[in-house]
Structure 1
Amino acid sequence: MTTTTPLLFVHGFWHGSWCWSEVLAHVADSGRQALAVDLAGHGWRARRPESVTGRPFSPERLATEKSPVADVDLDQAGDLLVSQIRRLGRGGPVTVVAHSMGGSVLTRAAEQAPELIAHAVYLAAFMPASGVSAMECATMPENAGELIAPSVRADPGAVRALRLDTVSAEPAYRAQLRQAFYGDLDPADADAALGLLTPDAPLGIALGTTTLTSDGWGSVPRTYVGCAQDMTIRPPLQRKFIDDADAAFPGNPTLTVALDAAHSPFLSMPDRVAEIVGGLG
């Protein structure tokens, strides 16, 4: 029997627990207990706007229909994640691996219940400083050149979501989405993944902030796994996350791992991701 902590995997915006399937297969070889969960407003909890698949297709309706996940916020997402961590660990500590926007939710959960998290692993993830939202981070100069903002197909403030046209047949747009998420995957594999995305990501999660304390998030061991080809969270922003965290909590420095990968290494190099997280916690 393994004596290491259980592993819990948290996806990012538009994705679901499905995206960790290949990593989980590799983790299973080690015999370690592991689980992937759906964030609030995603996966099993996702709701799709009618305008995305409605026919005849109306770009105007796509740009204006209020999101069915408009009421989902960081408070709700953080509370759900804490409950998921508690259930997996049965009250004991768990190593949590978060991707992309899942990082902001992990930060909230770690501040709320640091005793439940043995190690926080940020995989190409948002790791905002105290009182800073992930949305603010996404628009910082360090994230120049990212491809998510140009891919959003509605005013987030109006529809209360970051909306992608996940079923678009426009070649240039689909190529942009592939580059944003899966730039190191074969196009056919990338298209298969795009087909599983949820069109709406709740704006409330991206706008939420967490006040970080030395007894909360600042006390939890953390690792940042950066991706050199990332077109969603650009490498300079990844570096800023690490530098800001270390400046705020110098007694608990961030461990770092570098991957020559695009934004979604759980699909392009799942064996390596499993190897990295398997050595933590």
Structure 2
Amino acid sequence: MATVDTDQPAILLVHGAWHGAWCWEMLIPELTALGWRVATVDLPSASSDPENTAGMYDDARVIRDSLNAIGGQVTVLAHSYGGIPATEAVADVPHVSQFIYLSAFQVDEGVSLSIQSGGQMPGGETGTLPAPEDPRSFFYADAAPEDAERAAARLVLQSVKSFGEPVTTAGWKTVPSSYIICEQDMAMPVAFQESMAIRSERVYRLSSSHSPFLSMPAELAGIITSDAGRQLS
């Protein structure tokens, strides 16, 4: 078995609703080039199964298990919906050193995605939802057309249950957190991001749509690395 270099910084990437670990494919090489060990998760609430009933707590368990498998200190980067199960998960993992929200839901205890969205997203125990109409514009407006098309084709169903389960412990209260606001975001209005970002210690801005990991991965990797305070070769 290969020895893990725990002196090398590690990061866990947590995707949002309807997506999968595939969405980080353009960001991962940028991070590894800057010296990071990169891990990803596939959240069970996002699935092609129309009968899927995995919820936010199932997602949090997968995130927690992944974090516990990573040696050494680890940074968590969560995108969009992924901020909610990551918020739930990180409080129980003492070696998480930094939490970065990327146009993500940074919520308090007792709050679900459905509550935070003002009821725009449904809640319930059963059912799944398809991705929003025209995801290329909604999620990937500034990505190269071929990248947006490829990503849109890979989106899957999202369980309704994941939107309704509330956070029971807010990890950002004990783990230092930062927020990256996407200023051209069509999915998450800037004012909405700003209202959550006030809970973070540092706030950064990218002139991107909702998914800078596709449209400007090098710039995103640079912010992540700068925020970590690392001088990486």
TM-score after normalising by structure 2: 0.87
- 2:102 is matched by which residue type in structure 1? L
Name the SS of the counterpart of 1:280 in structure 2: helix
Which structure: larger Rg?
A: 1
Extract unaligned runs of 5+ from structure 2: 229-233
2:137 corresponds in structure 1 to 179
Q: Which has the higher helix share?
A: 1
1:108 corresponds in structure 2 to 88
1:121 corresponds in structure 2 to 100
2:161 corresponds in structure 1 to 204
- Name the CA distance, whole Å, in 1 between partners of 2:204 and 2:42: 25
Check if 1:14 corresponds to 2:11. no
- Name the CA distance, whole Å, in 2 between partners of 1:218 and 1:103: 14
Indicate if the aligned counterparts of 1:156 and 1:163 stay in contact, CA closer than 8 A: no
Deviation for aligned residue 1:158: 8.7
Deviation for aligned residue 1:16: 0.8
Name the SS of the counterpart of 1:189 in structure 2: helix
1:227 corresponds in structure 2 to 182
Extract unaligned runs of 5+ from structure 1: 49-66, 141-148, 166-172, 246-252
User: Which of 120, 130, 133 is 1:163 aligned to?
Assistant: 130
2:52 corresponds in structure 1 to 69
Name the SS of the counterpart of 1:7 in structure 2: strand
- State the Cα deviation string for residues 172-205 of structure 1 (Å, max 9, x = none): x4xx32111011123332111101111x112222
- Name the CA distance, whole Å, in 2 between partners of 1:47 and 1:124: 24
Indicate if the aligned counterparts of 1:123 and 1:225 stay in contact, CA closer than 8 A: yes
Indicate if the aligned counterparts of 1:138 and 1:233 stay in contact, CA closer than 8 A: no
User: Which of 115, 125, 128 is 1:136 aligned to?
Assistant: 115
- Name the CA distance, whole Å, in 2 between partners of 1:269 and 1:85: 26
- 2:213 is matched by which residue type in structure 1? F
Deviation for aligned residue 1:217: 3.6
Check if 1:268 corresponds to 2:215. yes
2:194 corresponds in structure 1 to 239
- State the Cα deviation string for residues 229-266 of structure 1 (Å, max 9, x = none): 111111111111123x2xxxxxxx52110011000000
2:31 corresponds in structure 1 to 27
- 1:223 is matched by which residue type in structure 2? S
